[in-house]
Amino acid sequence: MTPRRHDNDNGAGPGEADLQAYVDGQAGGRRRSAIEAYLATKPGEAARLAAYRDQNIGLHALFDPLIKDDAVEMPPAMAALVSNLQSQLDRDARAPRPPRNRYRCLAAGIAVLLTAGAAGWLAFDHAPWRQDPLVALTRQASETPLQLASSAPPATTTATQNSRPKVATWLAAQPGGAPARLPNLEALGFERVTERVITTAGGRPAAQLLYQDDSGQRVTLYMRAGGTAGGTAGQITFTFARDGESSQFLWEDSRMAYSLVGRMAQDKLLRIAEAVNDSLGGRSPEQAPPQRAAPPATLEPAIQRSDDKAAAPPVESAAPAPKIDETVDPGIESGQPLPLSLPERIEVPKET
Amino acid sequence: MAKAENEILEHIPGLRRYARALTGNSAEADDLVQESLSRALTRCGKAGEIRNLRAYLFTILHNAHVDRLNERKRWNYSIPPEVLENQLPQPAPQHGHVELHDLAAALQRLPEEQRQAVLLVGYEGMAYKEAANTLDIPIGTVMSRLSRGREALRRMMNGAPMADLRRVPQQLRQAR
């Protein structure tokens, strides 16, 4: 059952259906926060759900490697059937059909990028969790690399000085707090290639960081304002979702929400997600203290009010929040001058 | 523009992957996929009515699978050794991650209907509604099978006694 989105989250804890939906990334944002708050008080339940999530990961580890071989050796009989069926479908498709919804354009575009995995994307048409702001954010995960593919520099060119401060500026301006440094994944062989502030499908700004390793494998990290509402006692829970061939891990800390997307084995992506979390100063569930002072972050923080100092970032190296106009070109590399210079410690992450 | 959505070829890897996870046998899986395509071909008069090609194909595959189960009355589900061997060179999973052998063995012992739910949702990443459509069962049934299947897997992997988890394929309900 899909979570009821308008629950006040009063009274009883989440039901079993909600917990399952949480495992599958099909729980909506508000419900997810309630579930995480609940899990923070129920370590046994948290362990049970973590085991379920690990099952999902294990299934992919078991069966995913086979299909790559299959892709190149479809039996001739099957290929013939596919061809026949396709021509029948095509004949049928000549008849005009009304456009189903606006996601079709998107889906069609993505299909260019994804190969066999396009099927998973189309499932979004019916997925309740597309409503989740965090997931809505990740829906761009496949879309934006498409743009990057045409505009991003090759792997040998690391993030330019021109683009680097943008994300740092934006992060520093987050009223709910933000990590002081961008995640460093060099220990895992991933180098940051591109970064920028984009506008999510929900119309809200988010940071997009693209990392690439020597083999050309890429992961994209999204960060947006609005961490766990009310604070979830320091528990970081990685929620796994799959979208065609793209795997995603979603999580939140007290400051921001994160989404890591990559086309790779789930185990590997999870390791990267954990490294990102560590690099951001997050804590793993094992190390989580029972309570953690979390700023009053809501799911819809007033991120436009960048001069809101009432909720100063709880980051130890918090810089004074610079005033920037979020409405000015949040997503496009327009070459506009930066609104202001930044404290050096933020502008130049020390990993480079 | 909507063309890509209707590319059968896009769905083939997913179908084969699911069939393989479902049957535990690659030859059987490809045979099942081919039978499904043949079935789709004969029904294609209604192709204009297909709203979601992926769900449509998975439904046909599921029905073909269930039909086979009913014909044979028993199903020898096994994970072929090469599947497991493929995993051996991989790095050991980090803390608390599943042992793949245990998972494969547990999956093998799971009742068919629970295995379907676990695979469609947990492996194929289907939304519950789509899985319900594919299996032609109410969404609540998907949820309960999923919940029971996952808990059974977890207990099996923890070495708990599994007296109540013998395979009972004959209890499969024909999904129509």
Could you report the predicted ipTM of this complex, rounded to two decimals?
Answer: 0.73
End-to-end CA gap in chain A: 47
Binning pLDDT at 50, 70 and 90, where does residue A321 land?
A: very low
- Say how far apart CA B44 and CA A168 lie, in whole Å: 54
B-interface mutation test, from A49, A60, A70, A242, most B Cβ less than 10 A away: A70
| Alpha-carbon distance values, A126 to A2, A17, B3, B174 (Å) | 11, 17, 19, 24
Selected residues 41-100 of chain B with any CB under 8 Å from a CB in chain A:
41, 44, 47-48, 50-55, 79, 83-84, 86-87, 90-91, 93-100
> How far does Cα B41 stand from its chain's mean position?
22
Residue type at B29 in one-letter notation: A
B14 touches A at CB < 8 Å: yes
- Say how far apart CA A94 and CA B70 lie, in whole Å: 38
Rg (CA), chain B: 17
A35-39, A101-105, A238-242, B166-170 — which is least confidently predicted? B166-170
CB A51 within 8 A of CB B102: no
Residue among A246, A73, A74, A232 at smallest CA distance from A144: A246
Which residue in this structure is represented by tokens 């800390």?
Answer: A253
- Say how far apart CA A266 and CA A240 lie, in whole Å: 8
Predicted pLDDT at B43: 75
Selected residues 65-84 of chain A with any CB under 8 Å from a CB in chain B:
65-67, 70-71, 74-75, 77-78, 81-82, 84
Residue type at A207 in one-letter notation: A
Average pLDDT estimate for B95-115: 76
Predicted pLDDT at B81: 57
- Say how far apart CA B22 and CA B161 lie, in whole Å: 24
In terms of Cβ atoms closer than 10 Å to its own Cβ (0-12, 13-18, 19+), residue A97 is exposed
Other CB atoms within 10 Å distance of the CB of residue A134: 27
Predicted pLDDT at A330: 35
Q: Which two tokens stand for residue A336?
A: 């506009």
Instruction: Kindly identify which residue of chain B lies nearest to residue A18, measuring between CA atoms.
Output: B143
Residue among A149, A262, A166, A143 at smallest CA distance from A213: A262
Predicted pLDDT at A255: 79
Average pLDDT estimate for A248-274: 82
Highest mean pLDDT among A97-111, A145-159, B21-35: B21-35
Give yes or no for residue A72 having a pLDDT over 70. Answer: no
Binning pLDDT at 50, 70 and 90, where does residue B143 land?
A: very high
Other CB atoms within 10 Å distance of the CB of residue B172: 16
Q: Which two tokens stand for residue A167?
A: 């994300």
Predicted pLDDT at B9: 83
- The alpha-carbon gap from B14 to the nearest alpha carbon of chain A, in Å, equals 7
Instruction: Give this prediction's pTM.
Output: 0.48
Over residues B110-136, the pLDDT tens digits come to 888 999 999 999 998 889 998 998 898
Which residue in this structure is represented by tokens 């998973």?
Answer: A120
Q: B127 vs A85: CB contact, 8 Å cut-off?
A: no
Residues of chain A above pLDDT 90, percent = 4
- The alpha-carbon gap from A82 to the nearest alpha carbon of chain B, in Å, equals 6
Over residues A84-123, the pLDDT tens digits come to 888 887 776 665 544 444 444 344 333 333 333 333 333 3
Predicted pLDDT at B118: 95
**Beta pairing, strands A246-252 & A256-262:** antiparallel
Binning pLDDT at 50, 70 and 90, where does residue A52 land?
A: very high
**Beta pairing, strands A205-212 & A239-243:** unpaired
Average pLDDT estimate for A239-267: 78
Predicted pLDDT at A61: 81
| A323-327 long-range contacts, CB within 8 A, separation 24+ | A323/A173, A324/A169, A324/A170, A324/A173, A326/A170, A326/A173, A326/A205
Max alpha carbon distance in chain A (Å)?
A: 67
Q: A1 vs B140: CB contact, 8 Å cut-off?
A: yes
Average pLDDT estimate for A26-43: 86
Binning pLDDT at 50, 70 and 90, where does residue A194 land?
A: confident
Of the two residues A135 and B13, the one the predictor is more confident about is B13
- Say how far apart CA A251 and CA A238 lie, in whole Å: 5
Q: Which two tokens stand for residue A351?
A: 């990993």
Average pLDDT estimate for A44-53: 91
Selected residues 91-150 of chain B with any CB under 8 Å from a CB in chain A:
91, 93-100, 103-104, 107, 118-119, 121-130, 139-140, 143, 146-147, 150
Predicted pLDDT at A212: 85
A77-86, A183-192, A318-327, A334-343 — which is least confidently predicted? A334-343
Within 8 A of A84 by CB-CB distance, chain B residues are 41
A248-257, A266-275, B44-53 — which is least confidently predicted? B44-53
**CB–CB contacts below 8 A, A to B:** 213
Residues of chain B above pLDDT 90, percent = 22
Task: Please enumerate in sequence order all residues whose Cβ is within 8 A of that of B161, keeping only pairs 6 or more positions apart, or say none.
Answer: none
Q: Which two tokens stand for residue B112?
A: 């068919």
B-interface mutation test, from A4, A63, A101, A130, most B Cβ less than 10 A away: A63
Q: B54 vs A65: CB contact, 8 Å cut-off?
A: no
A214-223, B20-29, B71-80, B160-169 — which is least confidently predicted? B160-169
Give yes or no for residue B33 having a pLDDT over 70. Answer: yes
- Say how far apart CA A244 and CA B125 lie, in whole Å: 8
A138: part of which helix (H) or strand (E)?
helix A133-138
Of the two residues B89 and A85, the one the predictor is more confident about is A85
CB A243 within 8 A of CB A266: no
- The alpha-carbon gap from B54 to the nearest alpha carbon of chain A, in Å, equals 6
CB A30 within 8 A of CB A132: no
Instruction: Kindly identify which residue of chain A lies nearest to residue B149, measuring between CA atoms.
Output: A52
Query: Which three-class secondary structure state does DSSP give residue A64?
Result: helix
Across chain A, mean pLDDT equals 62
A105 touches B at CB < 8 Å: yes
Nearest CB to A85 within list B44, B79, B93: B44
Give yes or no for residue A298 having a pLDDT over 80. Answer: no
Within 8 A of A118 by CB-CB distance, chain B residues are 4-5, 7, 10
Over residues B151-165, the pLDDT tens digits come to 999 998 876 544 333
Average pLDDT estimate for A208-224: 84
Predicted pLDDT at A19: 92
Give yes or no for residue A344 having a pLDDT over 70. Answer: no
Query: Which three-class secondary structure state does DSSP give residue A262?
Result: strand
A224: part of which helix (H) or strand (E)?
strand A218-225
Query: Which three-class secondary structure state does DSSP give residue A257?
Result: strand
